[in-house]
Chain A
Amino acid sequence: MADPEISETAYACDIPAGRPWSRVLKKGQTLRIIDCEGQQAVDALLYSADDPAERYSAQDTLRVQGSAYVELGTQLISNKGRVMARITADTSGSHDTSAGCCSCESNAVRFGEATKYQHACRENFILELSNHGLTKRDIVSNLNFFMSVPIEPSGNFTVVDGISAPGSYIDIAAEMDVLFVISNCPQVNNPCNGFNPTPIRVEIRDAPLF
């Protein structure tokens, strides 16, 4: 007899280090993102499948929540003030949504011009979004699952070593049909991936897991 948890999996995909992925989650489906080897940042964008002009908004999410990090129970809010999805399970604690995604251009500013020609999340996002008729213009604020960015009372803002152990996971339950876009972050210049990007796995289930 099959493992009941596995048998509920409607879809699964291993995403290699540094690669993008996207898929439409139907309302009621739950996406599990598994940080297979630990300390791997996963950048994510959400769009309404019916109207991609409605998309995830980090600022709206933080305003509604009243605090700065994404965690169990966080509602992911759109730029039209609607709940797109919510976090229904989380084994690692706290996730960033204020630091944005890495890009060739910001890498060059942060780490020197030699890093401009390194693969980056925005390259992944641009290419993946092109499959859905979307462009750089549609890349706004994103989520950074498994990425730890403490914001101190002074304002100090630092990407620090990830706290996710191998096998850590987060469940995101869709509250509307959403196009979910991932960049498995290729950054090697800061600790978000332990300076060593690794694979992740995504699984979709038809009902939320409790």
Chain B
Amino acid sequence: MMNRTKVEAAEANRRRYEELRATGQQLTPKGLPEPTALDGAPISPDDIISHELVPAGWYATLRLRRGEALRIVDDSGRSSVSLIAWREEDCSERINCADTVKVQWSAAISKGRVILSDMGRVMLSLIEDSSGAHDLLVGGSTPASTLATFGSVTRNTQQNFLAAAAKVGLDIRDIPPCVTLFAPVSTDEVGRLVWNGSRKRPGDFVDLRAEMNLIAVASNCAHPLDPARPAASGSVTLIKHRARPAAADDLCRTASPEAVRAFAFTDRLYA
């Protein structure tokens, strides 16, 4: 049994939790912007740092400095791009899908949201997003998933991550759960995973702004739940470019009290 003081503390913590939940799930989504229009965020040629076309089944590793952004474009509307990232100066800090969904009270990320590291800091901000249909629960394709689907192991995200990790001196222990962009996965009322294929369009893109110096890996392999596979293949375009810095009134920075704190903790790395 709890004594009176503990009961009061528990009641105070419950009140705070309910207040945070109300803010996180009732106010924040209403404050989030609409998806970016397909032609709504042209990049000035002067801001482009590099440009790369990643064929279906392949991957690219990119080093992003704080303040640089990565545009990922699903040119055909048939691709999904699985993403992991490590902090460049200390690769034990990496993206954390669990904290990303828990802290933002939502498994759905879209324009205005952030991808957090395991250290309570922001790694990437979704400063533009025409899609808003991404997966953080199921992960990318693997040898086992392609074997089950095709009867043989095809190129897959897990082996792409392994190869990419090896080229920066890391290994399988360093591969965290991934975010998959352009992968419209949701859950139904009883928790079954559902693929919402109608939410995919040619030309959908996201702009991910790096909030710390990081190494990112983008794997262009069909999502394991995509029923269109193996037809779900097409190249994707990666454009590294200079973004506006995350100013005090920045959309992602101010989206929620949690985001404000995560940005403040991130800024301390560079103070």
- CB pair A108–B17 under 8 Å, yes or no, is no
Assembly CA distance A100 to B176 (angstroms): 12
* CB–CB B171/A63 < 8 A: no
Closest to B174 in A: A137
Interface 1/0s, chain B 149-190, versus A by CB < 8 A?
Answer: 000000000100000000000011111111000000011111
| Residues of B1-29 contacting chain A, CB below 8 A | 2, 6, 9-11, 13-14, 16-17, 20-21, 25
Q: Which residues of A contact B43 (CB under 8 A)?
A: none
Contacting A at CB under 8 A, from B80-112, are: 92, 96-99, 101-103, 105-108
> How far, in Å, is A84 (CB) from chain B's closest CB?
13
- Nearest CB to that of A122 among chain B residues? B118
Contact flag A109-B261 (CB < 8 Å), given A62-B137, A81-B143? yes
Q: How far apart are the CA atoms of A191 and B142 in the complex, in Å?
A: 35
**B237, CB-defined interface residue at 8 Å:** no
How far apart are A190's CB and chain B's nearest CB, in angstroms? 5
Q: Is the CB of A155 within 8 A of B108?
A: yes
A158 touches B21 (CB 8 A): yes
Decide: A105 and B190 in contact? CB cutoff 8 A: no
Residues of A within 8 A of B137 (CB): 59, 62, 68, 98, 151
Task: Tell yes or no: A14 within 8 A of B by CB.
Answer: no
**When the two chains form their complex, are residues A53 and B172 in contact, meaning their CB atoms are under 8 A apart?**
yes
**A100/B106 in contact, CB under 8 A:** no
A-B pairs, 5 with minimum CB distance: A100-B98, A155-B108, A59-B139, A81-B144, A105-B120
Instruction: Report the stretch among A2-10, A18-26, A110-118, A162-170 that lies at the interface.
Output: A110-118
- Establish whether residues A190 and B17, one from each chain, have CB atoms under 8 Å apart when the complex forms: yes
- The answer to whether A195 and B10 touch across the interface, beta carbons within 8 angstroms, is yes
Contact B25 A156 (CB under 8 A): yes
Check if B120 sits within 8 Å of A103, measured CB to CB.
Answer: yes
Residue A57 interfacial (CB < 8 Å): yes
Q: Which residues of A contact B97 (CB under 8 A)?
A: 59, 98, 100, 141
B120 near A109: Cβ-Cβ < 8 Å? yes
Query: How distant is the Cα of A98 from the Cα of B138 in the complex, in angstroms?
Result: 10
B193 touches A98 (CB 8 A): no
Q: Chain B nearest CB: distance from A91 CB in Å?
A: 19
A150 closest partner in B (C-beta): B191
B173 and A53 form a contact (CB under 8 A)? yes
Determine if A131 is an interface residue (Cβ-Cβ < 8 Å): no
